[in-house]
Structure 1
């Protein structure tokens, strides 16, 4: 009985340590996923997507406002790259991100406002949302799927 009590106490004392370790790991994973999304957002604001390929899996899928854009490499070459070259500025505001995990996958939802000032033409102000699926690749996280959409703010 004393042995059973000692085993029970040792187990009870060990449990908080094991439980505490998991949230710390999830916290680190959450911060790593947020960093990937932040690096991508910063590149867009700089109007320079050079090097962002490393943030995406080679077989990633990009969806934007009702259209399938293919892999990130295709999207960058045929859509995003030419767009950024046509912009004078691109700024985000009211940015929020939420990350949750389902097994080995991270699901991220970003909400934001953005303002695009093209080199020629009218300024566009929008409310946007993006959902991304990320998976761990070695020691880093990579986006395997991203879907974004936007609409004009009410009253615009």
Structure 2
């Protein structure tokens, strides 16, 4: 049986890892053949994204926080479609703080008893007046 809460838990645990600046173990949330898209670019699989983009970014941050987080989930056959909206604040170890409005869309499928992200696209934009 499909359950919105299970999908929300996967996304919430992933978000919590980002806020901890520690993506270790987050591979478990993604299918091996996943595809990641970020702000107009294709990042490849999650493993590639983690090694070449997300991991180095998190290492350069002092903090990364989400607020005003909302998620909606719907099912289309055996696939879950999730949309997350949020604000985020990134404080780098060096440089200016970035505050943005973000959105992410994810497609998840079941692998055994777990839900895995097979496709994720996220983007952000500056707050109005910034």
TM bin (shorter chain): over 0.9
Structure scoring higher RCO (CA < 8 A, sep ≥ 6) equals: 2
- Looking at structure 2, the residues matched to 135 and 58 of structure 1 have their Cα atoms a distance apart, in angstroms, of 12
- Looking at structure 2, the residues matched to 108 and 70 of structure 1 have their Cα atoms a distance apart, in angstroms, of 20
Deviations 1:93-127 (A, max 9, x none): 00000000000000000000000000000000000
- Looking at structure 2, the residues matched to 50 and 40 of structure 1 have their Cα atoms a distance apart, in angstroms, of 10
Match of 1:94 in 2: 68
Q: Which is greater in Rg? A: 1
The structure with the largest strand share of the pair is: 2
The structure with the largest helix share of the pair is: 1
- Looking at structure 2, the residues matched to 134 and 31 of structure 1 have their Cα atoms a distance apart, in angstroms, of 13
Q: Any gaps of 5 or more consecutive residues in structure 1?
A: 1-24
RMSD: 0.5
Normalised TM-score (structure 2): 0.99
Alignment of structure 1 residues 111-150 onto 2, 5 Å? 111-150=85-124
Match of 2:23 in 1: 49
Q: SS where residue 59 of structure 1 aligns?
A: strand
Alignment of structure 1 residues 58-97 onto 2, 5 Å? 58-97=32-71
Match of 1:40 in 2: 14
Normalised TM-score (structure 1): 0.83
Deviating runs (4+, > 2 A) in structure 1? none
Match of 1:151 in 2: 125
